[in-house]
Structures are given as structure tokens and as C-alpha cells.
């Protein structure tokens, strides 16, 4: 089966055929973080899914160019800069750095390009000038430049490609200067915002006077600069469909940079909302978590990633602490099986188990059906455990399974637990316990075992030495 997924643009499942099909090159853009605060796990559901899509494409032999922008200037950031009385770069650098720390903790591959909006002001201005020249943008009395929905539609273009809009009911003809606006309004949106006193020192020179870019134009300028005027995949959360992504299409295609009959983006993928304990995440409800909040509670980035990859991307994911405990249990079961398979394989090397690999690939080819993929994996685990328990596992059976797992884990980004993943403090206690045993100081060895248990670790003695295992 060829890879197919739900394209928001066509509102249907479509087979994936890249713009440059012969070259097997894929341009992938994901709306990145707005670095005004620490990113929460709802944000990271999108980034982990994007990472899965990239890994899947690379596994299938595509050369992926992955771009993710950094929004480092917009309304919320400007307010925070004014409140903290620091420079724009000093303020955003803290949260940008934290974002990539969390990104790495979740096992996400670093995008090939991570452009900041503030480094692309010239590109943004050039794009706005094209829209002005084509008569689709205008300078208002306040000095700001807006995109004209009316003129865009009058030229035969469709505003409402990603979703159907009722222009009579959605208050057309209004104008908004804020970066985000009400979803029930079809409004001319700001491309360039004239400088106001509240902006402080955050402004740039432009043909229309001092000011700064609007949020929507930033993504268009950065994506087309790095991936070209027409590329394959654009990803983001479903909350970005309108107005952000719809506005991206309008201003990008309105600039007339694409070849005839080529869209700005061929495929749009949107992930559903993440709920926490069955409710919308909110600080007032006490169910608002960042990745670092969860790491501080003792969970690992691998466990968080696993939980985020258990629900289909187009379905709401209910993120719970119990679910994280379940993720820990599931990964522990998987790791234990893999460790026994390595012992059984005894260093043998073999071609991958094609049956397991085909089931896994078929599941992801079907709109990234992770539930079916995990079903195939844990069915394989159950069969391995049965063979191990009955003494029937042989190297010629274990080695192909391990070879298949290496390919599977490269797609899931959930590498088996390696020594480096254990806390250094816990590893030091394990080493001390082993030293005590060798010295026949069994009282101290038992005390160290008990200490590790109190910290959430069991010691498993194997033919290859002692190793830690999560309780």
C-alpha cells in the first residue's frame, strides 16, 4: 500500500505524491513555537506527530527538508518584553533554548532549518511589496498594511480553501490588527503593523514607515524562502486552520509566485487538540503541563512521547498522569522483551522479520494509524514472550525480530533504554551495589538495592550482569 493521509485541502484521504516525485524530495513545513513562554504538551503533540511524519517519509526513502519557524515577535511577546524590561532577543532566547531542550527530550529530530521571524524581516517586506503591487494589499490611515479579502476574491481566488466559510454570517469586511482574531470573522488582516508607543524599541524600517510584521505573513515568507513557492507538506494543530493557515494560502498564492496550476502547498495535515484529564488544558483548572513539569515529576521524555503517539493524530488525545504510568508499563514490557531477545540472539545477525515490518508499515501507510502499528508490535511481543517462556526461542528467530525492531524504532523515535538514559545517581548506586557484592558486603548491597527501589528502580541480575528496571 502506498502512503496516504487526510489532506485538509481536499477534505479527503489522498495518496502522497510529492511535487518533485521523480527526485523523491519532500519539502515539509511545520508552524513552530511562539517563544513567549515554555511550550506545553498540547504544543508538543503537533511537533511529535510532525517528527513521526518526517521519520516515516525518510524510512520510505524520501529526502526530506524539514523547516520549522520560530515566532519571536508578535503581540504576546511584545507585552512580555515591556513587562520584564529586557531586550526582545534576551527575552525570546530563554524560551527558544528551553523549547529545544524539551524538543530533544522528546526524541524529536532537529529540523534542517529553524528561521526566526526577526531574521527574515527583509523577506517579509519583499512579500508585502509584491502584494501591494498586485493590488491585494493596502495602507490604512493608521499606517499599517492590510491584506484585502474582497480584492483577493474579486480576482477569482478562493478564500476558504481549508474550510467552508459563510461570508454573510461571518461578518466580512472588518479589519483586524491583532495577530489572532475571532474565528467568526472574515477580516482583512494586518501584514505590517505601524509602530505604536506600546511597541517600545521593537520595530523595523519599511517602505510604509516603522513597524513590525503581522503573524500570518511571517510563515509565508519563511516557508517560501526555504522551500520554494510551492512545496509538499504543511503541518500544524487544527486550531491553526483558520485564520492562520487560510491567511497563509491567500497571501502566498496572492503574491503570484507559483507556477501555473501549482498550489502554495499540496498537502495540509492538521493534528487534533490534546485534552488533559478529559478537559481543555488550562492553568486555572490545574491541568496545564509543560514537558519540564512532567520531567520534574519523574517521567521521561520517552514515556511522554510514547503517550503522545498512542492516539490517532486526527482524534483528540486524552493526556493523563495515569496514562503516563501506563506508558511506563508498556515501554517496560517492550524493553524487557527486547533485552531477552538480545540474550537469545547471542550476537547473531539476520535480515529483518518481514511479516512484522510489513504490518507496521501498512498501519502507518493508512493515514498514520498508530493504533494498528502498536497492535502489531505488542502482538509480536506477546508471541516472543510465549516462545521465551516455553524455551522455544532460538537465535534464528530472535535476530530477525531485533533487526525489524531497529527499523521500526527509527520511525517511532522510541529507542530502547540505553545506559545513558538512566540517571547518573542511580547508575552510581548500582555500581556501588555491585562492588559491595564482590566484596561480600551483602548487608550494604541489600541496603543499596532497597535505596534504588525507594527511588523507583529494580535491580535485575542477568547472565550479562546487573541492570536497572523501572518499577
- Distance in angstroms (rounded) separating the CA atoms of residues 166 and 444: 74
Cell of 392: 522455544
pLDDT surpasses 70 at 68: yes
Q: Is 369 exposed, middle or buried (0-12, 13-18, 19+ CB in 10 A)?
A: middle
Residues 350-386 have pLDDT tens digits of 999 999 999 999 999 999 999 999 999 999 999 999 9
By percentage, how much of the chain surpasses pLDDT 70?
A: 97
Q: Give the residue-averaged pLDDT of 30-38.
A: 97
By percentage, how much of the chain surpasses pLDDT 90?
A: 79
Query: Is-contact 188 72, C-beta < 8 A?
Result: no
pLDDT surpasses 90 at 181: no
pLDDT surpasses 90 at 423: no
pLDDT surpasses 60 at 418: no
- Distance in angstroms (rounded) separating the CA atoms of residues 228 and 248: 14
Q: DSSP per residue over 413-450, as a string?
A: T-PPP-GGGS-HHHHHHHHHHHHHHHTT-HHHHHHHHH
Q: Does domain 18-275 have CATH number 3.40.50.620?
A: yes
DSSP-derived 3-state class of residue 225: helix
- The count of other CB atoms within 10 Å of the CB of residue 471 is 12
DSSP-derived 3-state class of residue 320: coil
For the chain, the straight-line distance linking the first and the last C-alpha, in angstroms and rounded, comes to 40
Strands (E), 118-203: 137-139, 145-147, 174-176, 187-194
- Distance in angstroms (rounded) separating the CA atoms of residues 162 and 246: 6
Backbone angles phi, psi at 366, to 5 degrees: -90, 75
CA-derived radius of gyration, the chain: 26
- Distance in angstroms (rounded) separating the CA atoms of residues 417 and 470: 11
DSSP-derived 3-state class of residue 260: coil
pLDDT surpasses 90 at 12: yes
pLDDT at 420: 42
Q: DSSP per residue over 32-74, as a string?
A: --BTTSPPBHHHHHHHHHHHHHHHHHHHTT-EEEEEE-BB--S
Q: Give the residue-averaged pLDDT of 421-437.
A: 80
Query: Is-contact 274 84, C-beta < 8 A?
Result: no
Query: Is-contact 366 3, C-beta < 8 A?
Result: no
Report the DSSP beta bridge partners of residue 355.
none
320-418 CATH pick, 1.10.150.20, 3.50.50.60, 3.40.50.300, 1.20.120.640? 1.20.120.640
Binned at pLDDT 50, 70 and 90, residue 108 comes out as: very high
- Distance in angstroms (rounded) separating the CA atoms of residues 17 and 49: 20
For the stretch 336-363, what's the b/e string if a residue is b when 16 or more beta carbons lie within 10 angstroms of its beta carbon? bbbbbbeebbeeeebebbeebbebbbeb
Binned at pLDDT 50, 70 and 90, residue 419 comes out as: very low
Name the average pLDDT for the chain. 93
Closest CA relative to residue 235, chosen from 275, 274, 273, 267: 267
Sheet with 63-68, strands from edge to edge, namely: 63-68, 25-30, 231-237, 265-271
* 160 CB-side CA count, 13 A: 15
Strands 274-276 and 317-319: parallel
- Distance in angstroms (rounded) separating the CA atoms of residues 422 and 468: 8
Binned at pLDDT 50, 70 and 90, residue 471 comes out as: low
Q: Give the residue-averaged pLDDT of 302-329.
A: 96
| Residue matched to cell numbers 529507542 | 415
Closest CA relative to residue 298, chosen from 471, 48, 39, 433: 471
Peptide bond connecting 182 to the previous residue in cis, omega within 30 degrees of 0: no
Binned at pLDDT 50, 70 and 90, residue 464 comes out as: low
Residues 182-231 have pLDDT tens digits of 777 888 999 999 999 999 999 999 999 999 999 999 999 999 999 999 99
Query: What residues does each domain of the chain span?
Result: 18-275, 320-418, 422-470
Q: Give the residue-averaged pLDDT of 79-89.
A: 95
- Distance in angstroms (rounded) separating the CA atoms of residues 10 and 268: 9
pLDDT at 459: 85
Report the DSSP beta bridge partners of residue 467.
460
Closest CA relative to residue 162, chosen from 239, 232, 60: 239
Query: Is-contact 421 300, C-beta < 8 A?
Result: yes
Backbone angles phi, psi at 292, to 5 degrees: -70, -30
Q: Give the residue-averaged pLDDT of 267-289.
A: 90
157 torsion bin: left (phi>0), alpha (psi -120 to 50), beta (else): beta
Q: Is 424 exposed, middle or buried (0-12, 13-18, 19+ CB in 10 A)?
A: exposed
pLDDT at 470: 67
pLDDT surpasses 60 at 417: no
Closest CA relative to residue 207, chosen from 196, 218, 220, 192: 192
Amino acid at each position: 500500500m502506498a502512503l496516504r493521509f487526510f489532506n485538509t485541502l481536499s477534505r479527503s484521504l489522498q495518496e502522497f505524491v510529492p511535487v518533485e516525485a521523480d527526485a523523491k524530495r519532500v519539502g515539509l513545513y511545520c508552524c513552530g513555537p511562539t517563544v513567549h513562554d515554555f511550550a506545553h504538551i498540547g504544543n508538543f503533540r503537533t511537533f511529535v506527530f510532525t517528527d513521526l511524519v518526517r521519520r516515516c517519509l525518510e524510512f520510505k526513502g524520501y529526502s526530506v527538508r524539514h523547516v520549522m519557524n520560530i515566532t519571536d515577535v508578535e503581540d504576546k511577546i511584545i507585552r512580555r518584553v515591556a513587562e520584564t524590561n529586557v531586550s526582545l532577543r534576551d527575552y525570546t532566547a530563554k524560551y527558544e533554548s528551553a523549547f529545544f531542550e524539551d524538543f530533544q527530550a522528546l526524541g524529536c529530530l532537529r529540523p534542517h532549518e529553524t528561521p526566526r521571524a526577526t531574521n527574515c524581516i527583509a523577506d517579509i517586506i519583499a512579500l508585502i511589496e509584491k502584494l501591494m503591487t498586485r493590488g491585494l494589499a493596502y495602507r490604512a490611515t493608521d499606517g499599517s498594511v492590510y491584506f484585502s479579502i474582497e480584492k483577493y476574491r474579486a480576482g477569482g481566488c478562493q478564500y476558504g480553501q481549508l474550510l467552508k466559510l459563510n461570508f454573510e454570517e461571518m461578518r466580512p469586511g472588518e479589519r483586524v490588527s491583532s495577530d489572532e482574531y475571532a474565528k467568526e470573522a472574515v477580516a482583512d488582516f494586518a501584514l505590517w503593523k505601524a509602530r505604536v508607543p506600546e511597541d517600545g524599541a521593537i520595530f523595523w524600517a519599511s517602505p510604509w514607515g516603522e513597524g513590525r510584521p503581522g503573524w500570518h505573513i511571517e510563515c509565508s515568507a519563511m516557508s517560501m524562502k526555504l522551500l520554494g513557492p510551492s512545496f509538499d507538506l504543511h503541518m500544524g494543530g487544527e486550531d491553526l486552520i483558520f485564520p492562520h493557515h487560510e491567511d497563509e494560502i491567500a497571501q502566498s498564492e496572492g503574491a503570484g509566485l507559483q507556477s501555473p496550476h501549482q498550489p502554495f502547498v499540496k498537502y495540509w495535515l492538521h493534528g487534533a487538540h490534546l485534552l488533559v484529564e478529559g478537559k481543555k488544558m488550562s492553568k486555572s483548572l490545574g491541568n496545564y503541563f509543560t514537558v519540564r513539569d512532567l520531567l520534574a515529576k519523574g517521567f521521561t521524555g520517552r514515556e511522554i512521547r510514547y503517550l503522545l503517539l498512542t492516539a490517532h493524530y486526527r482524534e483528540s488525545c486524552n493526556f493523563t498522569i495515569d496514562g503516563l504510568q501506563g506508558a511506563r508499563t508498556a515501554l517496560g514490557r517492550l524493553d524487557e522483551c527486547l533485552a531477552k531477545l538480545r540474550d537469545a540472539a547471542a550476537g547473531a545477525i539476520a535480515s529483518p522479520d518481514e511479516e512484522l515490518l510489513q504490518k507496521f508499515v501498512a498501519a502507518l501507510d493508512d493515514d498514520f494509524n498508530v493504533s494498528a502499528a502498536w497492535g502489531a508490535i505488542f502482538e509480536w511481543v506477546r508471541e516472543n514472550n510465549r516462545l521465551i517462556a516455553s524455551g522455544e526461542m532460538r537465535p534464528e528467530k530472535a535476530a530477525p525480530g531485533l533487526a525489524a525492531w531497529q527499523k521500526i524504532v527509527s520511525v517511532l523515535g522510541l529507542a530502547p533504554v540505553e545506559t545513558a538514559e538512566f540517571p547518573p545517581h542511580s547508575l552510581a548506586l548500582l555500581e556501588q551495589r555491585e562492588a559491595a557484592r564482590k566484596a561480600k558486603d551483602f548487608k550494604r548491597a541489600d541496603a543499596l538495592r532497597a535505596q534504588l527501589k525507594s527511588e523507583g528502580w529494580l535491580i535485575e541480575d542477568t547472565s550479562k550482569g546487573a541492570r536497572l528496571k523501572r518499577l
